[in-house]
């Protein structure tokens, strides 16, 4: 299932959402692509073992820097596409400053969920997926019935349909849970599924604090 857009208008320009997209693009194309993936990961990716063992003083910094790094162009595009579709509505609900704080806190919560799963892991973690999963969790709470135009890729039988957000997002989080269970505590082929789950849960809860009061 690939979301194309949501029919859920906003009443303010999504400045922070666009700035977050621009920041991720800039980090990837202006830095990672220039120094190389391996070197950039060595410099600023998050490694659970370094965080829990205190082997690297910059490990706390890496909680944030890793959120703006990606492992490849498809990783980058996929994450930013979801942020573009769902982020503007959550920014509209929270306001720009609160949304930025919400996004970063969700990303940290997602990373810490990954650390909880395997605190001794030496595998670097990069990507905005955890923070964006928080946005998806918040969207489920705030706009469960918003129509999401969705591509169902089935080859020559592919279809484009409208589904309620709660259907799309329950399927999405269900896939993360099933993938995590199939990984049996492993890396899941390089995907930190528990970070996705942790970010999603954190976003669903934190939006109740960060959203603005309604009249």
Residue 79 CA to residue 76 CA, distance in Å, equals 5
Residue 12 CA to residue 94 CA, distance in Å, equals 11
Q: Is the pLDDT of residue 27 over 70?
A: yes
Residue 7's nearest CA partner among 88, 119, 63 is 88
Q: What is the 3-state secondary structure of 45-99?
A: CECHHHHHHCCCCCHHHHHHHHHHCCCCHHHHHHHHHHHHHHHHHHHHHHCHHHH
Q: Is the pLDDT of residue 89 over 90?
A: yes
pTM for this entry: 0.91
pLDDT at 76: 95
Give 58-71 pLDDT, tens digit per residue.
778 888 999 999 98
How large is the average pLDDT for residues 35-54? 87
Residue ranges of domains in the chain: 2-210
More confidently predicted of 54 and 64: 64
Share of the chain above pLDDT 70, in %: 93
Residue 215's pLDDT band (cuts 50, 70, 90): very low
pLDDT at 214: 59
Q: What residues contact 97, with CB distance under 8 A and at least 6 apart?
A: 16
Q: How distant, in Å, are the alpha carbons of 1, 152, 191 from that of 126? A: 23, 28, 10
Please give the full DSSP string across 4-21, using - where no structure is assigned: EEE----SS--HHHHHHH
pLDDT at 84: 96
Residue 184 CA to residue 164 CA, distance in Å, equals 31
Q: Give, for 153, the enclosing helix (H) or strand (E).
A: none
Give 114-173 pLDDT, tens digit per residue.
898 888 888 888 999 999 999 999 999 999 999 999 999 888 888 999 999 999 999 999
pLDDT at 188: 47
Give 171-190 pLDDT, tens digit per residue.
999 999 998 888 765 544 56
Q: Give the CATH number of domain 2-210.
A: 1.20.1540.10
**Cα-based torsion angle of the residue sequence 181, 185, 191, 194 in order, rounded to the nearest 10 degrees:** 70
pLDDT at 55: 63
pLDDT at 37: 87
Left (φ > 0), alpha (ψ -120 to 50) or beta: where does 54 sit?
left
Q: What is the DSSP letter of 148?
A: E
- As a whole number, the mean pLDDT across the chain is 90
pLDDT at 174: 94
């Amino acid at each position: 299932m690939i979301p194309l857009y949501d029919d859920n208008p906003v009443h303010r320009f999504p400045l922070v959402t666009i700035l977050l997209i621009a920041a991720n693009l800039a980090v990837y194309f202006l830095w990672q692509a220039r120094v190389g993936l391996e070197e950039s990961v060595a410099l600023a990716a998050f490694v659970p073992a370094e965080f829990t063992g205190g082997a690297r003083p910059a490990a706390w910094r890496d909680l944030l820097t890793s959120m703006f790094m990606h492992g490849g162009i498809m990783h980058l595009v996929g994450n930013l596409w979801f942020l573009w579709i769902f982020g503007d509505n959550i920014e509209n609900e929270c306001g720009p400053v609160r949304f930025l704080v919400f996004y970063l806190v969700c990303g940290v919560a997602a990373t810490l969920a990954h650390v909880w799963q395997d605190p001794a892991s030496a595998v670097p973690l990069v990507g905005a997926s955890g923070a964006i999963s928080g946005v998806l969790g918040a969207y489920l709470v705030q706009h469960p019935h918003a129509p999401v135009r969705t591509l169902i890729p089935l080859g020559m039988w592919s279809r484009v349909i409208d589904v309620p957000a709660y259907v799309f997002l329950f399927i999405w989080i269900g896939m993360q849970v099933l993938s995590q269970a199939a990984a049996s505590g492993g890396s899941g082929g390089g995907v930190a599924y528990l970070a996705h789950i942790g970010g999603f849960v954190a976003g669903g809860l934190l939006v109740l604090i960060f959203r603005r009061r309604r009249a």
